[in-house]
Amino acid sequence: MTMHVHGYATHSATSGLVPFTFERRDPRPSDVAIDILYCGVCHSDIHSARNEWGWTQYPFVPGHEIIGRVAAIGNKVSKFKIGDMVGVGCLVDSCRHCASCNEGLEQYCDNGFTGTYGSEDKIGGTPHKMTLGGYSDKITVEERFVLRVPTNLDPAAAAPLLCAGITTYSPLKHWKVGPGQKVGIVGLGGLGHMGVKFAHAMGAHVVMITTSPKKGEDAKKLGADEVLLSKDAKAMEAAQNSFDFLLNTIPVGHDVDPYMALLKRDATMVVVGAVEPLTKVSGIPLIFRRRSMAGSLIGGLPETQEMLDFCGKHNIICDIEMVAMKDVNEAYDRTVKSDVKYRFVIDMASLKE
Ligand code: NAP
Ligand code: ZN
Ligand code: ZN
């Protein structure tokens, strides 16, 4: 048996999102069926829908910042009951037995995780070969990959925590960002605005590094102590050798040398945005101050739950602009132009319009 789902899909790199109905499996004993209320619009959705990374298969349903209510549970589900407010992020399955999975780092599964969209669906039970994402009214997910959402958080504004939130929280924690450190967040978009909030909440001195003078004042409202304009060569030079950590969310390949030069000796820049070749990574800025450049991918399930609980405790939510599903193509164009404050979230009730 399958359930009938309404959503939006793209059918080619250029066709845009259009209404699409499809099937999902009915809950197995360890599955949770969720009525989706909200889904954030991540830049990765856009890269994928438009096949900018070259691996998209169509029809393609984006969406991995999912918030909803539990509608049904299998008879072995122990963590959730019908009516609970829950979240689903970028992962819906993994091998569950490799070293990474055993450590709760399912995003680094040695046998390949199953992404919420665009991955081979190894569980199956539907006519679709690939997983289909959260721009839809229902989803069925294995219990391990479902998260509890603190009840004090506005559910719509919590949706982007499931990707933008964990992708910034995880490296800040891993590299032990905290009081007494000067931390730069590069790019003020969906990820960047959460990076600023988390680094501030963790007690660091936060510098927003942006191309946009206009966004500067906003960054201060989000928790930044200072703003550095990356297009101001003099200001960039004056800030060299002063940062303990950089989190770089620029969504395309770029010249990293000017950012690497900002780091102190032994400090690290973590790149989470660009998957393209990072042009001009010179040895000199690395060698002369023993600096590092690293990457980081979302976060595992235990850390994602920790991040949501941290947000519940510190009342951290995302700054969102709610859109109707029919307006999602326009939201994509605006995101690409960096014209978003700071995350679009789709109101799934609008699917019924
Ligand atoms: P976004 O909302 O579009 O924000 C990106 C920001 O980067 C823009 O608002 C802009 O900020 C800045 N920017 C854009 N183009 C730039 C350029 N050419 N040079 C310098 N700065 C530029 O995107 P997002 O949703 O935050 O996602 C950011 C990237 O992370 C995407 O590539 C996405 O696919 C990726 N991602 C990675 C992971 C992971 O696990 N590693 C998870 C989620 C997303 P300013 O206006 O402030 O300059
Ligand atoms: Zn994402
Ligand atoms: Zn694994």
Verify whether ligand 1 is closer than 6 Å to residue 162 (CB atom): no
Tell me, what's the pLDDT at 162?
98
- 8-state DSSP, 203: T
Secondary structure (3-state) at 154:
coil
Verify whether ligand 1 is closer than 6 Å to residue 242 (CB atom): no
Tell me, what's the pLDDT at 1?
79
CA of 42 to the centre of ligand 2 (A): 5
Burial class (CB in 10 A: 0-12, 13-18, 19+), 125: middle
Contact 210, 229 (CB under 8 A): yes
Tell me, what's the pLDDT at 353?
80
**Rounded to an integer, what distance in angstroms lies between the CA atom of residue 148 and that of residue 193?**
23
**Rounded to an integer, what distance in angstroms lies between the CA atom of residue 171 and that of residue 340?**
24
Give 119's strand partners: none
For the whole model, what pTM was predicted? 0.97
User: Which atom of ligand 1 is the closest one to the Cα of 164?
Assistant: 43
Tell me, what's the pLDDT at 226?
97
Give the residue, by CA position, lying nearest to ligand 1 atom 16. 250
10-residue block means of pLDDT along the chain (353 residues)?
95 97 97 98 97 96 98 98 98 98 98 97 94 98 98 98 98 98 97 98 98 92 97 98 98 94 98 88 92 98 98 98 98 95 97 88
DSSP per-residue codes, 320-340: EEEEEGGGHHHHHHHHHTT--
Give the residue, by CA position, lying nearest to ligand 1 atom 4. 189
Give the residue, by CA position, lying nearest to ligand 1 atom 20. 250
**Rounded to an integer, what distance in angstroms lies between the CA atom of residue 189 and that of residue 241?**
25
- CA end-to-end distance (rounded Å), the chain: 27
Give 66's strand partners: 39, 88
Tell me, what's the pLDDT at 275?
86
Give the residue, by CA position, lying nearest to ligand 1 atom 17. 250
Verify whether ligand 1 is closer than 6 Å to residue 336 (CB atom): no
Contact 291, 285 (CB under 8 A): yes
Helix pair 190-201, 164-174: axis angle to 10 deg: 40
Contact 269, 281 (CB under 8 A): no
Residues 219-248 as b or e (16 or more Cβ within 10 Å = b): beebbbbebbbbeeeeebeebeeebbbbbb
Tell me, what's the pLDDT at 186?
98
Other CB atoms closer than 10 Å to residue 13's CB: what's the count?
14
Return contacts of 284-289, CB within 8 angstroms, 24+ apart.
285/257, 285/260, 285/261, 286/260, 289/241, 289/263, 289/264, 289/265
Structure tokens, 78: 């122990």
State which of 108, 168, 211 you would mutate to test the pocket of ligand 1, scoring each by most atoms of that ligand within 8 A of its C-beta. Answer: 211
Contacts of 310 (CB under 8 A, 6+ apart): 169, 201, 316
Of the candidates 15, 2, 142, the residue with the CA atom closest to the CA atom of residue 73: 142
In whole angstroms, how far apart are CA 301 and each of 7, 163, 190, 327?
A: 26, 12, 20, 31
Tell me, what's the pLDDT at 216?
87
Tell me, what's the pLDDT at 84?
98
State which of 39, 41, 43, 51 you would mutate to test the pocket of ligand 1, scoring each by most atoms of that ligand within 8 A of its C-beta. Answer: 43
**How many C-alpha atoms does 335 have within 13 Å on its Cβ side?**
26
Structure tokens, 42: 């991540």
CA torsion 189→289→285→201, rounded to 10°? 0
CA of 166 to the centre of ligand 2 (A): 9
Structure tokens, 298: 């979302």
CA 53 remoteness from chain centre: 16
DSSP per-residue codes, 84-112: -EEEE-SEEE--SSSHHHHTT-GGG-TT-
CA of 44 to the centre of ligand 1 (A): 9
- Phi and psi at 208, nearest 5°, equal -85, 120
User: Which atom of ligand 1 is the closest one to the Cα of 211?
Assistant: 48
Of the candidates 142, 143, 202, the residue with the CA atom closest to the CA atom of residue 170: 202
